[in-house]
Amino acid sequence: MTDLTSPQTVLPSAEVRLSLLKVLWRSRLGDLREQSLIRQGKGWFHISGMGHESIAAIALHLKADDYAFPYYRDRAFCLQRGIADYEVALAFYAKRASSSGGRQLTGHFSDRALNIWSHPSPVGAHLLPACGAAWGMQLDGKKNVVYASLGEASARQGDFFEAVCFAKERKLPIVFVVEDNRIAISTSTQRTNPLALGVLDKSEWIRVDGSSVQSVYEAGAEAVGRARAGEGPAFIWCDVERFSNHSSADDQRMYRAADELEAMHERDPIAVYQKQLIDDGVLTEEAASELEKTIREEIRQAYQKASEQEDPRASECNYELVGPELDVPAPTVELPDSCRMLDAVNRVLHSAMDKLPNVVFFGEDIADPKGGVFNLTKGLSTKDPARAVNSPLAESTIMGVSVGLASYGKRPCFEIQFVDFIYPGWNQLVSNMATLRWRSFGAWKCPLVIYAPCGGYLPGGALWHSQSGEGSFAHIPGIRVVVPSTPEDVAGYFWTALHGEDPTIILLPKHLMWAEQKVQGAVKALPLGEARVVHEGNLLTLVTWGNCVELVEETLEGLDTPLDIELIDLRSISPWDRETLSRSVRKTGRLLVVQEDNISASVGQMIVSELCGDASVLGALKSPPVIVSKADVHVGFNPIYEYAALPDRERIASAIERLLSTALSTSLEAGAATSATTVAASAEPDTISMSTTSSNSASASKTITVPILGEGIRVARVVSVLKQPGDTIQADDALCEVETDKAVFPIESDVDGVLTEWKVAEDDEVSVGQDLVVVQLKAGSVAAPVDTGSAPAEAYDHMKKAAGLSMEAIKQLEGIVPATIDMTCRWEAVRDARLRSKEAGGPTLSTATMTAWAVVQAMRKHERFASFIRGGELMHDPARFDLGVAVALPGDVLETAVVKEANMLGWADFPEVFNESLRQTRHGEIVSKNRVSLTISSMGAYSVRSAIPVVVPPSVATLFIGAPYQLPDPKSKDGGTMEVVSLVLTFDHRWVNGVGAAAFLSDVRKGIERFKEA
């Protein structure tokens, strides 16, 4: 380790030294001004650089075209780099004219003109982008350098080590500066930083005393000189003090000793430096005092002026989240009449390399001869090895470096080998890629492409080779996401993304990658946010994307009767095509979404939620939307798990039948308040083809088929036949060799016997599952049947029956005129009654029991709500009425529990009868629901506050009771809150008018708010 604790040389001139002192004072006095303003209530937050000011000396060695990635205590460095006090003041007040437009915390410096990169809050997250900028300089052959600083606590972040490794690997022109103030908020780091632990090679680091501005200047000269000379990265470890609290939200006196706080001011870099200038005759005591006074007043004026400037505009909240759509030149990519998606990707990447000199390709194993695990980048590195480079096995490096390259001016097109492994780079995705443009008010842009194979339907993928993941990305503002399913679409999206100004994630469905597809037209630059209408129809809108496009098409082709279904390939996930989907659903009145991703917080739920939020769409619906989806479950290694988890043809066909043949599912019959029915892929399908052979235990022969070829490869060529008819074979003998795009390997027998017949010949192209040979089994030897994991067909019959309604009910539904009202209801009485019953030691009252009792009392008063529909007429029996309660059953089925003759029950008997009816329903002991007048529904257990239920005959109404939540209490004088629930009543307007419904719901509310155990 080089130790620069004592000065070796002097600064170049008295003028420069005096100018630097002014910068140090501007930094210090600016910090003090902000502290004072915080105490006056004139700011929101302050984070100080006091004690770190000597780092400004390193900025003296940087040139205009160099880049800086400073961290939040580098105020003095940024001032020396050229940022004005007024600009820092604008940032303090979060004004519209500040570098972030008021979007970033103070201390998050940024200036595009000065090449000061916008700092993110997650510590260490800026270091890999710094490496990306340095790599861009290196690619351009420039003699520039990158400055990147961090606190010593941040040196424990994984991105710090990835950045150091990448910089050393590629000998990047970058200077890392660790500013060690020995404390991370309140935690001592003296013994736990990587230098103290011996993790870093001390011989590579210049260690310098940060109280000596001159020593820091010299360290900067040495480090920047090395990097600029092409010697690779240089490293400075600077010992400084933190004079202030960690931030304005902290008080270090609570965790640091008084004598420690007092002693550290002896190492004040400004005091030490000013004294040195006075001793050297550059400055007098009087001049120093006058300088401080002058700067203090200048700072005051700068902050006063900044305080008077315009605040951000609420209307601009979405401003610069993404850029405008650009005019993209016509693609120079041509595809044959039929090809595979992977071929289309390879062609467009080659075209980009030829036509777009700033495009850089980077990823694991992408260089030749491998050319990527899916051959997507084959030939690129041979064409230009400097622009198609193998990455380390480090996803955060891939993601972070891409951000820096894009910021610098390159166009990264980086590969994540499988989308399942992107999560180590998640911090870079959400902290930098998604936010850079927005947080810098459009000053910094991030034009890049991240692409990754995704999805399942490839047996043996297990947990981390089977995820689709589009929902995770679609949730992040500022990221564009597409999932193409055809060769022309994938080429068009790559071309558009490579010409765009924002980060785009292209997910490539693995199951479709190797499939030969007909090309429907020329490659076009596809605008994002436009769905593809595969074919038009009038009965049902079916929306899907990715791997499920093929699955849906196979399902529709396999139906006994062709159906007039409108099939839409969503393909662009974020942004998505609301208009096309809305227009289609308004036409068909029915919506089915099929997706491969998990159901919770998914794209499918997003589509249903947003479309149903449109009154014109909701009013056009003839039945509730249905989502066929993977359940919230992982994909296991055994294909039984995979096919049990993922949507399949049977489930899709069942959902179509539900929507078209029966109009409504049991969930609506039970009065469920859900806006969509979900057919989660949790039951096993009828058959799972997981075997590479077909066998018949009663036969003396066996046909051996082409096995799974791996990673979605569907076809192979027989390159050699190794056994002939009549040959005796044993288990594990090689029968032939086949060649795929990726490998040559043998296909082996799994039985003993005699080869009797070849079904293919050498040079034939074969596909997975195709018959290869017939083997006469050895006497006494029977091939064991393969466990296909089949589930009895009765399971699906049960699901179909559970979804059915009688034709009479369907006819009644056609005449319903639904109307909905809602009220807010105080919840304290019910909550307190439950607590009292719990404390009494007996059975605890459920809130469902108490609210049901309140509903029954209201039904007693309102005849219409104690009536039911039969034969198109409203029936009322003054002697009795029944109450229905929606109950969830396994398999995403809802049933109605019936409290019979609810009006005849007193409170003493009601809880027992109510709970017994729920128990009978949950255990399949279902009673008739033909006389249910009203149904209660709730998803409070899932924290659903409010939902619009659907009323289904014979009921005249359905009441949804939401989960409790807090609202401001208007009666409270000290800002207290009250616990409430939402009551949402949907009723058949043919029989009940709005006034009657409001009166009934008001009585329900009173019964709940005034509940007392009778």
Site of tokens 């400084």: 240
For residues 402 and 436, give the distance between their C-alpha atoms in angstroms, rounded to a whole number: 12
Pairing status of strand 715-721 against strand 449-454: unpaired
DSSP type of residue 921: H
CB 526 within 8 A of CB 496: yes
Residue 40 token pair? 């006056």
Distance from C-alpha of 850 to C-alpha of 191, rounded to nearest angstrom? 60
Residues 6+ apart with CB under 8 A from 15: none
The catalytically annotated residue of 46, 465, 511, 862 is 465
Query: How far is Cα 145 from Cα 131, in angstroms, rounded to an integer?
Result: 10
465 is catalytic: yes
Buried/exposed 130-154: b ≥16 CB within 10 Å, e otherwise: bbbbbbbbbbeeeebbbbbbbbbbb
Cα–Cα distance for residue pair 507/483, rounded to 1 Å = 5
**Cβ neighbours of residue 651 closer than 8 Å, sequence gap 6 or more:** 628, 679, 681, 685
- Exposed (0-12), middle (13-18) or buried (19+): which is 927, by Cβ within 10 Å? middle
DSSP string, 412-429: EEEE-SSGGG-GGGHHHI
HSE, CB side, 13 Å, CA atoms: give it for residue 227. Answer: 34
Tell the residue number behind the tokens 């309660």, with chain if given.
885
CB-CB contact of 72 with 100 (8 Å): no
For 860-882, give the secondary structure using H, E and C: HHCHHHHCEEECCEEECCCCCCE
Find tokens 């980060």 and name the residue. 503
Torsion over CA: 284, 287, 289, 291 (sign)? negative
SS3 811: helix
Rounded to 5 degrees, what angle do the CA atoms 886, 967, 998 make?
Answer: 50
The first and second tokens of residue 943, run together, are: 């924290």
Q: For 41-102, where are the E strands, in sequence order?
A: 67-69
232: which residues sit within 8 A by CB, 6+ positions away?
167, 168, 171, 172, 173, 226
**Closest listed residue to residue 107, CA positions, set 58, 34, 180:** 34
119: left (phi over 0), alpha (psi -120 to 50) or beta: beta
The strands making up 565-569's β-sheet, listed across from edge to edge, are 532-535, 565-569, 540-544, 591-598, 626-630, 677-681
Structure tokens at 306: 């900044």
Sole residue written with tokens 């909905």: 820
Q: Which amino acid is at 86?
A: Y
Alpha-helix runs per DSSP H in 358-408: 380-383, 395-408
From the list 614, 561, 557, the residue with the least C-alpha distance to 591 is 614
Kindly list the distances between the CA atom of residue 49 and the CA atoms of 70, 273, 292, in Å, as whole numbers in the listed order: 12, 17, 18
Which positions are annotated as active-site residues?
465
